[in-house]
Structure 1
Amino acid sequence: MRRFCLVAFALAISAAPVRAQNSPRQAPLKVVASFSILGDFVKNVGGNRVEVTTLVGPDGDVHVYTPTPADARKIADAKLLIVNGLGLEGWLPRLLEAAGGKASIVTATSGIAPLKLGSDADPHAWQSVADAKEYVVNIRDALAAADPADAGFFRQNAQTYLAKLEALDGEVRQAVDRIPLSRRKMISTHDAFGYFAARYGIEFIAPIGVSTEADASARDIAKIIAQVKAEHIPAVFLERISDPRLMRRISAESDAKIGGTLYSDSLTDEKGDAPTYIDMVRHNITTLTSALAN
């Protein structure tokens, strides 16, 4: 009997490493995301098997971000660096040179056909929920390749999250359907909603280009004010990361009301209106329909 117990104990010991390989008690995969929206995607796919660090945090403007020495250390310690690409992180090459790490760089927009504004690619592809699903697929595949032992876990999480995004895409379409065709036109601060417009059929007009680094000229502002008056555009919208004075001026000098604040390039902290990507999209579409539907 004692011999049998010792044999059983030995077998249990030999089997332990196999179980530990897939245990959530393993050290999580270190992942750095360039900004908050990407960080949220990684968290939804990676769950407790990843440790996510975000360079540009809540309410931060990724267009004009200035990296710090601490950011270089974060990348040096990471296994993966998830970036948007399409020219969004113009500061990234200098940061990578300073980091000198071996993190694999994953471009989350891989496979997405970029929209163009003049010679510039529009980097805001996440504003289309359909394109956001491509982000998630790319992140899923990158995590699975970096940590094959947890690949099944990542795929299951991604499947669950992709189903939520599919439902969200339907919510947005239904909400836009409630806006009369004649009122599906509005003013926003910078060209952050081109993919949203292409997917859902609302026209966005912006005095600033794809980056918040740009400044609107007096001529551009006057042209937009004239357009608002001529076309009876019902509302202008503030953006969380942008100075509101420009939109307030356009509103004051035209017949358009302030329709509310939209979230374009950043999430909020947990106490804000948009702590997750899904919250952000729902806030934006609720704000738009409240101002434009009537």
Structure 2
Amino acid sequence: MIRKLTLLAALPLITALYGSTALAGEPIKVVASFTVLADVVAQVGGEHVAVSSLVGPNGDPHEFEPSPADAKALKAAKLTFISGEGLEGWMERLISASGYEGKPVVVSEGITLRSMDEDGKTVTDPHVWNSPVNVKVWVDNIEAALAKADPEDAAAFKANATAYKAKLDAMNAYANDKFAAIPEANRKILTSHDAFGYLGRDYGVTFLSPLGLSTETEASAADIAKLIEQIKTEHVKSYFLENSNDPRLVQQIAKATGAESGGELYVESLSEKDGPAPTYEQMFRYNIDQLSAAMAKSS
């Protein structure tokens, strides 16, 4: 009986020191909006974070519909990371439904963004991760947020971030080498929607697509006819499907233009663990290999 009273008396002190939901040394619970971001957070956080992704493998972050389980996961998280720039239009509703009291960390802050005209409006391109140069900014923002939430492990986060940015530099060099071997006139590809703008900007590749920056948009018959004519005029010979999108429209356009399939790209989500793109690094290198092979063939 005396021992029970002693433990009960000690509980307020234990809670004050370690928190009510986690003991010291346990990984902090972190939620990321989609798999690409979740992997980068895990690379920086290492063993000190337990990361879950709201949008699963092969999922579309534009059209995601959160579930009660997602609300529960968000409520339990110490930190939440989003890419931002309009990608996660559903996040505010999820925060409201879950009762989450924190403010999501927007990892794309500080990136030089692309903008374009879409249906008469100027919109920002949210697909920043398709450039490893941009992801270096993600890494800095993630490291800062993790160090603030868990100061004791700040040195580990810094070391992980430095090592991962070296990998990102290697990925950038890999893409430059692959595309340098292809004449710029042949660096033209048809994809499902306009998600490769940053990759195109960095490596001199032209991407044509029937849909705009979001898969929630719809292409008109006039837009499709214009795109078909442009593909024929510019002699675009390869098209790619996307792992997270409906393939029918791009297949229809390819049939009308004679473009040949180059395979499937991983654009907004990773594959399952046994697929070709289970991490961001593998996803990027896989996409570069697929794109450069298709362009070299058409050359």
Q: State the TM-score, normalized to the length of structure 1.
A: 0.90
Which digits, 9 at most, give the CA deviation of each residue in 1:59-79, with x for residues without a partner? 010000011111111111111
| Residues 1:56 and 2:55 aligned together | yes
Q: CA RMSD in A?
A: 1.4
Amino acid at match of 1:45: V
Say if 2:25 is the partner of 1:26.
Answer: yes
Query: For 1:77-117, what per-residue CA distance to the aligned partner results, in whole angstroms no more than 9, with x for missing partners?
Result: 11100001000000011111112223342001011122112
Structure 1 stretches lacking a partner, 5+ long: 1-20
**Cα distance in structure 2, aligned partners of 1:50 and 1:155:** 14
Contact 2:192 2:245 (8 Å CA) reproduced: yes
User: Which amino acid in 2 is paired with 1:28?
Assistant: P
Amino acid in structure 2 at the alignment position of 1:88: L
CA distance in structure 1 between the partners assigned to 2:254 and 2:130 by the alignment: 24
**Residue aligning to 1:15:** none
One of 141, 152, 156 as aligned partner of 1:138: 141
The match for 1:41 is 40
Contact 1:197–1:204 (Cα < 8 Å) also in 2: yes
Q: How does 1:221-232 map to 2 (within 5 A)?
A: 221-232=224-235
Q: Is the contact between residue 210 and residue 250 of structure 2 (CA under 8 Å) also seen in structure 1?
A: no
Distance, in Å, in 1 between the alignment partners of 2:100 and 2:222 is 46
Runs of 4+ residues deviating >6 angstroms = none
Unaligned regions of 5+ residues in structure 2, if any? 1-17
Instruction: Provide the rounded CA distance (Å) in 1 between the counterparts of 2:190 and 2:206.
Output: 8
AA partner of residue 78 (structure 1) = A
TM-score normalised per structure 2 = 0.88
Q: What whole-Å deviation, never above 9, does each CA across 1:166-197 have from its counterpart, x for those lacking one? A: 11100001001111111011111101001111
1:57-96, aligned counterparts within 5 Å? 57-96=56-95
Q: Residue 241 of structure 2 corresponds to which residue in structure 1?
A: 238
1:25 shift after superposition = 7.4
- Is the Cα–Cα contact under 8 Å of residues 79 and 102 in structure 1 kept in the other structure? no
Which structure 2 residues correspond to residues 1-294 of structure 1 after superposition, within 5 A?
A: 26-118=25-117, 119-294=122-297
Aligned-partner Cα distance in 1 for 2:35–2:149: 21
More displaced 10-residue stretch of structure 1: 250-259 or 137-146: 250-259
Whether contact under 8 Å (1:124, 1:194) holds in the other structure is: yes
